[in-house]
Chain A
């Protein structure tokens, strides 16, 4: 539906964004995920032609923008929600109606369309309020209603929840997920939250330094990062370098600091690999578990315990460093503290392996 080819944005003679190819199909939700400053917003702005790319080609429904479609006509088929609501100094109704007025829509149609989307985002009661007097959550609902009222062919969402407090963010993102699921629109959204990408998108593009470094179905991108940096970025906090000692049927053994870790999959004998693991996949107990499907069980010493959101991050020494995540109640029950002797276990299937070139 929308294709981008060789899109470049330059600033001060330096390319700050280069997208050789990007596409999105009708009804698909694609997330652009990356750290702050990675180029997510620049890519959204450039694809939406809100900033002028220095080169590249944008094709919408087989028509090339600038040749077959006028850029204004192209922009009018899209809508964009920014991180901040950016409302006009007018009433809520006028804000939601603004994009339709720009398009010269008839008054009666505008009224119907605005009411529909005020209702969808549950802000009908605010229609006569001044937009600047709204709370953050209300203002972002107005911004969303304004973008939706245009009924765009492609909707751009630039970290639409990041300026909101956590409870408002949770409520609004749940509602938006339901609305998008119902409408089946084509959406490109940027986020630095992995959970948001998982929640909303069919496909994910990981962006770093103005380049798409990995693109694919969201689950696969999150679970199969292509390098160490990406592994860290998608939340794999344990990264261990090792050498394949033995290849078995369906698994292989990797030597890490003299310890043997069993990994599901295939590898070559003596291959240099990096083992990547999420902290959520590590289980801590006080003694060796009697029954466990985990192939990897190690005695470990607690090196440190730190709060992490609603849980606790535990740094362990198993002869190699390992990071685990436990709930607050588990932390209390296991009496986790520095120097405590515990047992850490993890499944062979929970490990993602990166192939490395041998040194020398």
Chain B
């Protein structure tokens, strides 16, 4: 019990004392996961809308693949992105491995199928006749897509929350492609793993609390936007 109590006490000191290293890790986590979420929203919403509205052979197989991708194991993504960014890999010339950009890419790969899958479901859930009605109002294909996205804004905000939740909390891919380099690619999850393995439970608890608070605050923000638009 003492261990936990001491850990929580130390955590509060680190948080409220605005410990430089902890704040740096927190900021990097927010930046990396925020950017990855933004990328996944752009890619996932576009792809999801296209898949939901278009009719083409193999569409069902593609939707099944997207749905499978929603549960992609982060370590598999980490391995795949590492191989791509490896010096001899297809994207090795970019020199991104063990940089924050590598983490952004890996996290975007994790979040994009989540956002895509929820977007497909959200648009398909709208009445088929609504699509016809919007076309009957004289919409172009692009105007139709925008209008449907607006109609599906509640589940789409849920998609963003799910995407952000998925990447801010993952550790495997960030560790593999970022390397957990102190002051450079160390994010909240990789730092928590490291500190726990070193037996520094107080720091690990502090990082855990920050991670939880950060996730809560971002979701609180998105939830309030979602409920306001209801």
Q: Which residues of A contact B (CB under 8 A)?
A: 45, 48, 50-51, 72, 75-76, 78-80, 82, 84, 86, 88-89, 98-99, 102-103, 146-147, 150, 156
Q: Which residue of A lies closest to B127 (CB)?
A: A86
Instruction: A147 to B132: give the CA distance in the assembly, Å.
Output: 13
Cβ of B143: which chain A residues have Cβ within 8 Å of it? 102
Question: Contact between A102 and B139 (Cβ–Cβ < 8 Å)?
Answer: yes
Classify the interface of chain B: helix, strand, loop or mixed.
helix
Task: Jot down 23 A-B pairs with beta carbons below 8 A, ordered by A.
Answer: A48-B136, A50-B136, A51-B132, A72-B138, A76-B138, A79-B136, A79-B137, A80-B132, A82-B129, A82-B133, A84-B127, A86-B127, A86-B130, A86-B133, A88-B134, A88-B150, A88-B151, A102-B138, A102-B140, A146-B137, A150-B137, A150-B138, A156-B136
B76 within 8 A of A: no
B146-171 vs A, CB cutoff 8 Å, 1 = contact: the mask equals 01001100000000000000000000
Question: Contact between A99 and B138 (Cβ–Cβ < 8 Å)?
Answer: yes
Q: Which residues of B contact A (CB under 8 A)?
A: 127, 129-130, 132-140, 143, 147, 150-151
Question: Contact between A84 and B136 (Cβ–Cβ < 8 Å)?
Answer: no
Cβ of B136: which chain A residues have Cβ within 8 Å of it? 48, 50, 75, 78-80, 147, 156
Instruction: A150 to B129: give the CA distance in the assembly, Å.
Output: 19
Residue with the greatest number of chain A CB neighbours at <10 A, chosen from B135, B138, B151: B138
Number of A-B contacts (CB under 8 A): 48
Cβ of A72: which chain B residues have Cβ within 8 Å of it? 138, 140
Cβ of B134: which chain A residues have Cβ within 8 Å of it? 88
Q: Which residue of A lies closest to B147 (CB)?
A: A88
Among the listed A78, A84, A88, which residue makes an inter-chain contact with B129, where contact means beta carbons less than 8 Å apart? Answer: A84
Instruction: A72 to B138: give the CA distance in the assembly, Å.
Output: 7
Cβ of A45: which chain B residues have Cβ within 8 Å of it? 132
Residue with the greatest number of chain A CB neighbours at <10 A, chosen from B139, B143, B151: B139
Instruction: A102 to B141: give the CA distance in the assembly, Å.
Output: 11
CB distance from B36 to the nearest CB of A (A): 29
Instruction: A230 to B138: give the CA distance in the assembly, Å.
Output: 36
Question: Contact between A50 and B140 (Cβ–Cβ < 8 Å)?
Answer: no
Question: Contact between B138 and A50 (Cβ–Cβ < 8 Å)?
Answer: no
CB distance from A106 to the nearest CB of B (A): 16
CB distance from B142 to the nearest CB of A (A): 10
Cβ of B135: which chain A residues have Cβ within 8 Å of it? 50, 75
